[in-house]
């Protein structure tokens, strides 16, 4: 918010300076009625340039403001999607009726650990982890680790597309 205020103040200062320079230029023209036509032409040609500088400053400000708003919207959508990953996983795991240990194993599978690594991390035997992995796949209807990870990614992408303004869900 402070950044936006500072940018607005800078823009107001820029426009004020442009207007003041233009006013000084007009005052110079009006103050010297007996100036040679060449100098009058130079003074008059400065007015459109001053106006153009003000217009360019305004356009740059509007473009920066629009880009800042778009960035804030994208960051909000990304934050909402990434913050909801745990919720998405919990809902999936609840739908599949996974036990607490199966949920732990499923999370480690999604992280990319092998059965042996999971067994070592959990302090169990690889055969136990293999049985839990089989139970996860059976309950979920999936057949391998890649499908489990891609299902999560698909859920996140669907959630992000639902969060887009003006969209009612993912379109194929």
What's the CATH code, domain 84-163? 1.10.10.10
Report d(CA 56, CA 62) in Å as an integer: 10
Mean pLDDT of the chain, nearest integer: 81
Report d(CA 40, CA 56) in Å as an integer: 25
Decide if 122 contacts 129 (C-beta within 8 A).
yes
**What is the signed CA dihedral for 158, 160, 166, 167, rounded to 10 degrees?**
-10
pTM of the model: 0.49
Task: Give 60 or 103, the one with higher predicted confidence.
Answer: 103
Residue-level pLDDT at 4: 60
Residue-level pLDDT at 172: 46
Residue-level pLDDT at 61: 82
Q: Which of 65, 68, 45, 60 is nearest to 15 (CA)?
A: 60
The alpha carbon of 92 is separated from its chain's Cα centroid by a whole number of angstroms, namely 26
Asked if pLDDT for residue 30 goes beyond 70, the answer is: yes
Residue-level pLDDT at 109: 92
Q: pLDDT, tens digit, for every residue of 51-69?
A: 788 788 888 888 888 898 8
């Amino acid at each position: 918010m402070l950044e936006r205020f500072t940018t607005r103040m800078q823009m107001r200062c820029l426009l004020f300076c442009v207007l003041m320079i233009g006013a000084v230029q007009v005052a110079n023209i009006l103050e010297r009625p007996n100036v040679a036509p060449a100098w009058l032409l130079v003074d008059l040609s400065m007015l459109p340039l001053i106006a153009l500088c003000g217009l360019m400053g305004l356009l740059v400000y509007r473009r920066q403001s629009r880009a800042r708003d778009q960035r804030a919207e994208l960051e909000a959508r990304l934050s909402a999607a990434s913050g909801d990953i745990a919720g998405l996983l919990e809902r999936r795991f609840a739908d599949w009726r996974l036990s607490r240990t199966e949920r732990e194993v499923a999370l480690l599978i999604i992280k990319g650990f092998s059965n042996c690594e999971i067994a070592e991390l959990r302090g169990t035997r690889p055969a136990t982890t293999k049985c839990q992995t089989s139970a996860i796949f059976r309950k979920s209807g999936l057949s391998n680790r890649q499908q489990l990870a891609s299902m999560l990614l698909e859920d996140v992408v669907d959630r992000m597309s639902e969060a887009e303004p003006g969209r009612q869900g993912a379109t194929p």
